[in-house]
Amino acid sequence: MGSAHPTLRKSREAGCDYSLWRWGAGTLARMNSASSLHEIPAGMVGMGMIFDETYRPFFERAQAEHVWDRRFGEVAVPLVAVATRTGSRAERYRRSAGDRIYPFHSYTGDDSIRDLVKSGVKVACVATPDNRHFDAAKQVLEAGVHLLIEKPSVLSLAELDELDRLARKHNVLAKVVYHKLLDPDHKRLRTLVADGVLSHVNNGYCSLLEPKSISGGQFAEWITGRNPGTYVAVHYIKLIDFTFGGRLISVTARGQRGLVGPADGPTWDSCQMRLVYRYDSGREAAFDIHTSWVTPDNFPGYVEQEVQFRFDNGVWNGHSRKRGIELTVEGKTPITMKTTINTHYNGAGLEPWGERTQRGYGVEVIERFFREVAMVEFGGPASERAARLAQARGLLYNDLAADRQTVAAVQALEAILADAAVGRADSVVHVNAAEGGLVLYRVGEGKPVVLHEGRV
């Protein structure tokens, strides 16, 4: 039996026909008809950095151990199909993973997503570049497949509404990954707010600085016209929105150019945005979020992340890079290894019992989603699926329908920076104004631009 996949091993024990081993819809179900094992065949669109950090460890662990809960039983989550631009990363991964992963089918080129969603997957995860989520996500939902989409979910409210409509029409989940909501520090913050220990947030700042290697190397293929705010400020927009509630009322932003692209072009090195919220009490709060993807590569951590929130009765200071570890290795830190490491997000380690694992909230958030799908599909009688689906949709931390204010802030940021790129700096976006749901006001111009008609 040796090193065979557990799924394969089970099917061998059950005396299955190995001609069925090659992936096809329902293959696993046929292989495991002798047992009560359920399956959620999964697909992956995009196999870049985030796949490697979070999805890969999840799928490998699920391949080895399956997912189990007494309410839905044992569920296999084979990664049966992937879609990428060229297929080269998929093949590299296939070679390096060996039998740690299911022998997935790799689709490439223009029709790759269409082919993936038709291959029998029940769930598809979308981790393509920020501005390529919508097309992929739409195809997933149109095929009646559950969707998990990387942050930022989409770049406009019209896209969000369309995906939500499709998810409802096809009775599937459409969820988005904001793993920072699962960071133990942020969970503690939210608990103190929910319990009233910290009362009324007045203002705060967040900063998230990425190394130059991100804008200059990793994302070079899709960097033109992009900005680090949409890419990473969105983590903190969501944290603020989810933790403190309230209604978003305005967005302003500035940015700098000249390193990633020309000083008068559409590609941004860094940006600073301000969100203003109003609460039921009638009081307001303002939050400044600064981001960059041109920080020197030799800074001590992978990402510099800091927050400060000021309340009526307290101050919360958080630094994701400085929570404990300072590592020095001659000839390695801080270039090929980092000095301050966030092991909470995604730590690869040797467990005390000898096993090598990769754990953290970045992986936990993916597993949590698959548990939600398993609960919908297998957590009770088929006649009660609709109720389970509604319950899963009610989880506001990841449901696409609950991402409205975050997407509104992103759409506003994109519009303000697009204006600035052509010399119209300091436009401001108001939310749920007299003229529409999302309205852009330009300096010196009387007539505003309605970015989104409906209420946010």
Ligand X SMILES: NC(=O)c1ccc[n+]([C@@H]2O[C@H](COP(=O)([O-])OP(=O)(O)OC[C@H]3O[C@@H](n4cnc5c(N)ncnc54)[C@H](O)[C@@H]3O)[C@@H](O)[C@H]2O)c1
CB of 236 vs ligand X, minimal distance in Å: 12
Output the six-digit token pair for 255. Answer: 């940015």
410 forms part of the interface with ligand X (CB under 6 A): no
For the chain, what's the residue count?
Answer: 456
CB of 369 vs ligand X, minimal distance in Å: 13
Among 39, 60, 130, 210, the residue binding ligand X under the rule CB under 6 A is 130
Virtual torsion, Cα 435, 441, 445, 446, nearest 10 deg: 20
CB of 153 vs ligand X, minimal distance in Å: 9
- From CA 356, how far away is CA 351, in angstroms rounded? 6
- From CA 31, how far away is CA 404, in angstroms rounded? 42
CB of 229 vs ligand X, minimal distance in Å: 11
CB of 9 vs ligand X, minimal distance in Å: 30
CB of 230 vs ligand X, minimal distance in Å: 8
Output the six-digit token pair for 454. Answer: 């409906």
The answer to whether 151 and 235 have CB atoms below 8 angstroms apart is yes
CB of 201 vs ligand X, minimal distance in Å: 24
Span interacting with ligand X, options 22-30, 45-53, 392-400, 424-432, rule CB under 6 A = 45-53
Amino acid residing at 33 = S
Quick one: 140 or 177, whose CB is closer to ligand X?
Answer: 177
Quick one: 72 or 134, whose CB is closer to ligand X?
Answer: 134
Nearest to 305 by CA among 292, 324, 315, 286: 292
321 forms part of the interface with ligand X (CB under 6 A): no
250 forms part of the interface with ligand X (CB under 6 A): no
List 45's β-bridge partners, or say none: 83, 126
- Phi-psi sector, 66: left (phi>0), alpha (psi -120 to 50), beta: left
Q: 152: cis peptide before it, omega within 30°?
A: yes
The answer to whether 374 and 69 have CB atoms below 8 angstroms apart is yes
Among 66, 151, 186, 393, the residue binding ligand X under the rule CB under 6 A is 151
φ, ψ of residue 271 to 5 degrees: the values are -155, 155
Among 60, 150, 210, 403, the residue binding ligand X under the rule CB under 6 A is 150
CB of 173 vs ligand X, minimal distance in Å: 18
Quick one: 7 or 291, whose CB is closer to ligand X?
Answer: 291
The answer to whether 206 and 390 have CB atoms below 8 angstroms apart is no
CB of 139 vs ligand X, minimal distance in Å: 10
Quick one: 171 or 224, whose CB is closer to ligand X?
Answer: 224
Among 62, 79, 125, 177, the residue binding ligand X under the rule CB under 6 A is 177
Among 37, 45, 76, 123, the residue binding ligand X under the rule CB under 6 A is 45
Among 29, 49, 315, 450, the residue binding ligand X under the rule CB under 6 A is 49
- From CA 360, how far away is CA 363, in angstroms rounded? 6
Q: What number of other Cβ atoms are within 10 A of residue 47's Cβ? A: 24
Output the six-digit token pair for 1. Answer: 């039996």
Virtual torsion, Cα 125, 128, 134, 138, nearest 10 deg: -40
Q: Which of residues 63-122 bind ligand X (CB under 6 A)?
A: 83-85, 89, 112-113
Quick one: 76 or 182, whose CB is closer to ligand X?
Answer: 182
Among 28, 127, 237, 421, the residue binding ligand X under the rule CB under 6 A is 127
284-295 and 449-452 beta bridge pairing: unpaired
Quick one: 89 or 168, whose CB is closer to ligand X?
Answer: 89
Q: How many residues bind ligand X (CB under 6 A)?
A: 25
46 forms part of the interface with ligand X (CB under 6 A): yes
The answer to whether 234 and 152 have CB atoms below 8 angstroms apart is yes
- Phi-psi sector, 171: left (phi>0), alpha (psi -120 to 50), beta: left
Quick one: 124 or 127, whose CB is closer to ligand X?
Answer: 127
Burial of 264 (0-12, 13-18, 19+ CB in 10 A): exposed
CB of 370 vs ligand X, minimal distance in Å: 16
- The DSSP 8-state label assigned to residue 301 in this structure reads B
List 277's β-bridge partners, or say none: 248, 285
47 forms part of the interface with ligand X (CB under 6 A): yes
Q: Which of residues 191-220 bind ligand X (CB under 6 A)?
A: 218-219
Instruction: Count CA within 13 A, CB hemisphere, residue 11.
Output: 19
Site string for ligand X, 215-234 (x = CB under 6 A): ---xx-----------x---
Span interacting with ligand X, options 48-56, 182-190, 255-263, 383-391, rule CB under 6 A = 48-56
128 forms part of the interface with ligand X (CB under 6 A): yes
Sites of contact with ligand X (CB under 6 A): 45-51, 83-85, 89, 112-113, 127-130, 132, 150-151, 177, 179, 218-219, 231
